[in-house]
Structure 1
Amino acid sequence: MDEIIDALKVSGLDDVESHKRFMIVNGSVNADALDELRKVKGVASVHQDRAYKTQKP
């Protein structure tokens, strides 16, 4: 799992949170780099979530 996480980081994944028990890795990446994450050996799927924050008045 550590090798996969390292490869994901090299491919552009930041703010990495890994849940080794469940074999899940979360993080932030530029939308243009999603395909690079999918190419990492050992990655079953890549899901894109979006979060929007409003500015305080």
Structure 2
Amino acid sequence: MSKKSSIVAKGVTLIGIGVGFILLKYSPYYFVASIMIGIGAGFLIGAILDRDN
């Protein structure tokens, strides 16, 4: 994983945590789900960026 895709993965994970804190008032499961979606999306975008290089 290159540095660029690593930064993207961390950034999208932080976005997922931010969304999770907003949704935490509804259910803690939404918080966990948004973190997992953020991690998955970050790895997916990172893989796409690595494939182009």
The TM-score with structure 1 as length reference comes to 0.27
More strand by share: 1
Q: Which structure is higher in helix share?
A: 2
- TM-score, reference length from structure 2: 0.28
Higher relative contact order (CA 8 A, sep 6+): 2
